[in-house]
Amino acid sequence: MRKKFIAGNWKMYKSPKETKEFFAAFAKEMDASESVKKAIADGVEDVAFFVPSISLTTAIEAAENMPLIIGAENAHWEKCGAFTGEISVPMVAEVKASHVLIGHSERRHIFHETNEETNKKMHAVTDGGLRAVLCVGETLEERESGKAHDVIKGQFLDGLKNFDAHTTAEKVIIAYEPVWAIGTGKTASAQDAEEICKFIRDLASDTFGTECAEKLLILYGGSVKPENTASIMSEADIDGVLVGGASLKAESFIKIAENAL
């Protein structure tokens, strides 16, 4: 049985002050939510937040008494150097964040991050002892021209180049996020999301073997809300959700964590 992984991606929202306020509100929601508390304690569900780098330390401190995962939204592949504006994996590890999002579509499409760069980052994160969430997904144009599977296959295989069959499932999580569904209010239907997540699991099986594929966590992301979480999570190959907008409010995110169970 794979663990459910419910993650928020805050993008460029929430300053350190707002982060502190959010976790004060989230602590109350957690306290009131017996099902989420139990699921985390029983090892059935993980709840994670990927936050802006300037708010990482505040998030770690503010969430200190809650069993939450805190991660960074990006990290450079070099340990240090002349890379103005970037943060490195050792920096993320030093503040005790445990996960890093890699290759989010906003990194790929706004900042022109390539598959080769995501691969270098994936290795930097996992070599640095942290867990990486590799985001993959097609644009609307790619979907409409029948290229979705090829795009996702390329992002998956290039992003995971030189990973091995034995440790990939422990070190890596995959998030399928169709670009046309991110921040648009257009969710992929549960069946469409499942079709691609199953395709990713089959790719993992062909590349790393069935044992790895069966253990690998695959998330869906793209306009996930409390109302559509249960149907998305009912699909066999979807183990969790990556949530942008609806993770910014404590009440909606705790409902997503509840409805995922």
Instruction: Tell me the catalytic residues.
Output: 104, 177
Task: Report in angstroms how near the CB of residue 135 gets to ligand PEP at its nearest.
Answer: 7
Task: Report in angstroms how near the CB of residue 81 gets to ligand PEP at its nearest.
Answer: 28
Q: Closer to ligand PEP by CB, 11 or 201: give it.
A: 11
Q: Closer to ligand PEP by CB, 88 or 228: give it.
A: 228
Q: Closer to ligand PEP by CB, 212 or 239: give it.
A: 239
Q: Closer to ligand PEP by CB, 172 or 212: give it.
A: 172
Task: Report in angstroms how near the CB of residue 9 gets to ligand PEP at its nearest.
Answer: 4
Task: Report in angstroms how near the CB of residue 25 gets to ligand PEP at its nearest.
Answer: 19
Binding site for ligand PEP (CB under 6 A): 9, 11, 177, 182-183, 221-224, 242-245
| Minimal CB distance residue for ligand PEP | 244
Q: What is the 3-state secondary structure (H, E, C) of the chain?
A: CCCEEEEEECCCCCCHHHHHHHHHHHHHHHHHCHHHHHHHHCCCEEEEEEECHHHHHHHHHHCCCCCCEEEECCCECCCCCCCCCCCEHHHHHHCCCCEEEECCHHHHHCCCCCHHHHHHHHHHHHHCCCEEEEEECCCHHHHHCCCHHHHHHHHHHHHCCCCCCCCHHHHEEEEECCHHHCCCCCCCCHHHHHHHHHHHHHHHHHHHCHHHHHHCEEEEECCCCHHHHHHHHCCCCCCEEEECHHHCCHHHHHHHHHHCC
